[in-house]
């Protein structure tokens, strides 16, 4: 029997949520970090949305946030011209990396030894976290503010998307451009899937999938509204997208068919990401909330519990709906 999706709303932020990221799966589950214009990024338990802590220290809107695979380190990019590295267990600030302009994006290498940053000063920087006082390696070339910079190809290359309507692939050692994609409009988001080397790019109403190594186009899908962010399921059977019309869309990746759309947010959706186990996806909105959505509605997982109203469950007791 088909069940209706009940999203879980995570409140706490007081301004729009502009970025979110999941950690890998750790012995303590997986975690979620949210970047918010209120300057206070939050760490949450990934499968329940329970708040764990708030990283305090930034003096401006936080535009980007990320966790390392083990969820032991967090990094944030903010409008106060700094990127910060945090201990994600204690919540303590570990490093402040001063920049010359608003920082928009942060990304750890697989071994968490280096941090990639990008922002309004149009320069990609690579910091060695173990030698923070050393000058970062700089990669220039973009002619407008960088929106997102991500490690790819086993941390040997870098993918960057900027307001100059290009996505560029750089070699880390030579800092030269390997390949470039040009668009008619600014790219709104970018997601890199290492397993299978897939790059998910959104622009206008389009969700596009590229081979991350060759930057060859795999396919594009058009949505009913302007899309701000999309995410591909780890098994590559679904992808989800959200944008200007406040809705979340779920598509079949192979057939490009729109499977479901969900209302719930009270503002445009700025970011959406699948959890590392693919069981749920999280969305962040202009309305200041994060929402968790089940991939398979009806499955018992996290805080969702499948209760069939007709049946008598658990020694004949009647269940109450708890919403």
Partner 1 sequence: MRTPMSVLRLPRGPDPNSRGFDPNSPRFIALCSTTISSSTDTETDSVQIGEEQCARSMLRESFLRTLIAMTNKQVQFYMYERVKVNAVFGASDIDVLNFQVSDLQTPIGVQKEALLRCQDVILYSFDL
Q: State the residues that interact with partner 1 by CB under 8 A.
A: 1-6, 8-12, 28, 42-44, 48-57, 59, 72, 87, 89-91, 292, 294, 297-298, 303-307, 309, 319, 321-323
Q: Which of residues 196 and 319 has its CB atom nearest to partner 1 in the complex?
A: 319
What is the closest distance, in whole angstroms, from the C-beta atom of residue 44 to partner 1 in the complex?
7
What is the closest distance, in whole angstroms, from the C-beta atom of residue 301 to partner 1 in the complex?
10
What DSSP assignment string belongs to 32-101? EEEEETTS--EEEETTT--EEEE----SS-EEEEEE-TTSSEEEEEETTSEEEEEETTT--EEEEEE-SS
What is the closest distance, in whole angstroms, from the C-beta atom of residue 66 to partner 1 in the complex?
18
Q: Which of residues 74 and 193 has its CB atom nearest to partner 1 in the complex?
A: 74
Q: Which of residues 182 and 317 has its CB atom nearest to partner 1 in the complex?
A: 317
Of 75, 62, 65, 64, nearest to 115 (Cα)? Answer: 75
What is the closest distance, in whole angstroms, from the C-beta atom of residue 42 to partner 1 in the complex?
7
Q: Which of residues 309 and 316 has its CB atom nearest to partner 1 in the complex?
A: 309
Q: Which of residues 176 and 323 has its CB atom nearest to partner 1 in the complex?
A: 323
What is the closest distance, in whole angstroms, from the C-beta atom of residue 8 to partner 1 in the complex?
5
What is the closest distance, in whole angstroms, from the C-beta atom of residue 303 to partner 1 in the complex?
5
Hey, what are 8's tokens?
């879980």
For residues 71 and 23, is the Cβ–Cβ distance under 8 A?
A: yes
Nearby residues of 181 by Cβ (< 8 Å), 6 or more positions away? 166, 167, 168, 201, 210, 215
For residues 234 and 277, is the Cβ–Cβ distance under 8 A?
A: yes
Q: Which of residues 14 and 140 has its CB atom nearest to partner 1 in the complex?
A: 14
For residues 229 and 260, is the Cβ–Cβ distance under 8 A?
A: no
Hey, what are 50's tokens?
């329970």
* Whole-angstrom distance, CA of residue 272 vs CA of residue 171: 28
């Amino acid at each position: 029997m088909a069940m209706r999706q009940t999203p879980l709303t995570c409140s706490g932020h007081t301004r729009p949520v502009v970025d979110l990221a999941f950690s890998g799966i750790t012995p303590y589950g997986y975690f979620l970090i949210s970047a918010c214009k209120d300057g206070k990024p939050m760490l949450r338990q990934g499968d329940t949305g329970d708040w764990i802590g708030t990283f305090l220290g930034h003096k401006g809107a936080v535009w980007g946030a990320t966790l390392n695979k083990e969820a032991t380190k967090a990094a944030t990019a903010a409008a106060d011209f700094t990127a910060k590295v945090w201990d994600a267990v204690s919540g303590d600030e570990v490093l402040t990396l001063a920049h010359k302009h608003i920082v928009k994006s942060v990304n750890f290498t697989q071994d968490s030894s280096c941090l990639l940053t990008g922002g309004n000063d149009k320069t990609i920087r690579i910091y060695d976290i173990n030698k923070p006082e050393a000058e970062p390696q700089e990669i220039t070339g973009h002619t407008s503010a960088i929106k997102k910079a991500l490690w790819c190809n086993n941390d040997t290359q870098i993918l960057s998307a900027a307001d100059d309507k290009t996505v560029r692939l750089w070699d880390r050692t030579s800092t030269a451009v390997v390949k470039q994609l040009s668009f008619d409009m600014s790219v709104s988001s970018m997601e890199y899937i290492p397993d299978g080397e897939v790059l998910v790019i959104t622009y206008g109403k389009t969700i596009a999938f590229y081979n991350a190594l060759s930057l060859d186009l795999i396919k594009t899908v058009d949505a009913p509204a302007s899309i701000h962010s999309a995410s591909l399921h780890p098994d590559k059977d679904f992808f989800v997208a959200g944008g200007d019309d406040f809705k979340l869309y779920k598509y079949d990746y192979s057939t490009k068919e729109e499977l479901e759309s969900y209302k719930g947010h009270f503002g445009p959706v700025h970011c959406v990401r699948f959890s590392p186990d693919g069981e749920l996806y999280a969305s962040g909105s202009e309305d200041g909330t994060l929402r968790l959505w089940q991939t398979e509605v009806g499955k018992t997982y996290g805080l969702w519990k499948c209760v069939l109203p007709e049946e008598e469950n658990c020694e004949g007791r009647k269940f109450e709906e708890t919403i």
